[in-house]
Amino acid sequence: MKPLRIPSLLMAAAFAASSAAAASSSPEACAPSGKLSVDEVVSGSHGKTGSSPNENDVVFYYACQALVSGHRGPCDHLKSLIGGGDESEKCPECPAKFWSPSRICLDVYRDMSRTRSDAEAALPATKARCVEFLRENPDDEFMQFTDNQAACDIILRYVGQPDKRTPLLVPLSAVKLSTAQVAEAIRDEKHLLGNATEKECRALPDHRRQRCLSAVAFRKAYAHKDVKLCGELPLCRALMGAGPESCDVYAKRIRENACAPAGGAGAPTQ
* pLDDT reported for residue 91: 52
Selected residue with higher pLDDT from 256 and 226:
226
User: How much is the mean pLDDT over the chain?
Assistant: 74
For 196-211, how does the pLDDT look when each residue is reduced to its tens digit (9 = 90+)? 888 889 988 877 889 9
pTM: 0.70
Q: Is residue 270 part of a domain?
A: no
For 134-172, how does the pLDDT look when each residue is reduced to its tens digit (9 = 90+)? 777 665 666 788 999 999 899 888 877 777 888 898 899
Instruction: Write out the residue range of the structural domain in which residue 37 sits.
Output: 8-258
Contacts of 106 by beta carbon, 8 Å cutoff, 6+ apart = 63, 66, 72, 75, 139, 140
Number of domains the chain is built from = 1
Q: Is residue 245 part of a domain?
A: yes
Q: Is residue 144 part of a domain?
A: yes
Q: Is residue 266 part of a domain?
A: no
Q: Is residue 263 part of a domain?
A: no
User: 145: which DSSP letter?
Assistant: B
In angstroms, the first-to-last Cα distance of the chain is 21
Residue 22: which H helix or E strand, with range? none
